Amino acid sequence: MLFGFKRNCPFDYIHGFTRQADYSVQAAQYLDQCLNDPTQGKMPQMLAAMHEIEHAADTAKDVMVKRLVLEFLPPFDKDDIMFLAHQIDAVTDAIEEVLIVIDVHHIQVIPLAAQQFSELIIRCCQSMNMALKEMKDYKISAKLKEHLAVVNRLKKEGKGMHGRSVKKIQELRRNPVEVMNYIRLFDHLERCTYNCKEVTNTVERMVIRYS
């Protein structure tokens, strides 16, 4: 086992991380659903439902942090636990922000590329979550590096999709306000995959550090 959990340490921090990441996956799936049915009249309900997911993710993080405060000898550094927990939380926050941007800037028509981007975010969150689950038994896991590589590849795909989409928007649309709003949308979509990669960067660093 990677972090040598002690017998007197019943709290499973890896499970805590993956529980947070489960909410990231759930948020990504709900975002995809919203982008494929972007009815403005439904936006208040969509925002409320997304915020419930985000709030549940915050609660999962808070449970772990409260336990960490009381921990005398956690299985690994408290700073590492806090840092990774906040990074995972940032993934869910970024996903919620996409929906907020659509609402605040009154984006009525969701480009096909944005819908495709949301599918990529789902896959990125799922691979991030699987990488977190593999941390506990990384010495015998043949899949951890594979999941890390998938997140890296999807993050690069997201960067390329962002560039192509922004270029196309500026070619096809003439209203400068509309152009800026769509650019904001794709900036926030890319932020989701970027944040997933930040999580797996930390996972990789921790694996090396505690080996």
Question: Residue 9 pLDDT more than 80?
Answer: no
In this structure, of 8-12, 39-43, 57-61, 99-103, the range with the lowest mean pLDDT score is 8-12
Average the pLDDT over 81-95 and give the result: 97
* Average pLDDT of the chain, as a whole number: 91
**Cβ(125)–Cβ(91) under 8 Å?**
yes
Question: Residue 211 pLDDT more than 50?
Answer: yes
Encode the chain in three state secondary structure.
Answer: CCCCCCCCCCCCHHHHHHHHHHHHHHHHHHHHHHHCCCCHHHHHHHHHHHHHHHHHHHHHHHHHHHHHHHCCCCCCCHHHHHHHHHHHHHHHHHHHHHHHHHHHCCCCCCCHHHHHHHHHHHHHHHHHHHHHHHCCCCCCCCCHHHHHHHHHHHHHHHHHHHHHHHHHHHHHCCCHHHHHHHHHHHHHHHHHHHHHHHHHHHHHHHHHHCC
Whole-number pLDDT of residue 140: 64
**pLDDT digits over 112-165, tens only?**
999 999 999 999 999 999 999 998 876 667 799 999 999 999 999 999 999 999
Whole-number pLDDT of residue 30: 98
Average the pLDDT over 194-198 and give the result: 99
**pLDDT digits over 173-184, tens only?**
889 999 999 999
- The domains found in the chain, sorted by start residue, are 13-205 (1.20.58.220)
Question: Residue 71 pLDDT more than 80?
Answer: no
Question: Residue 172 pLDDT more than 50?
Answer: yes
Average the pLDDT over 198-209 and give the result: 93
Question: Residue 203 pLDDT more than 80?
Answer: yes
Question: Residue 68 pLDDT more than 80?
Answer: yes
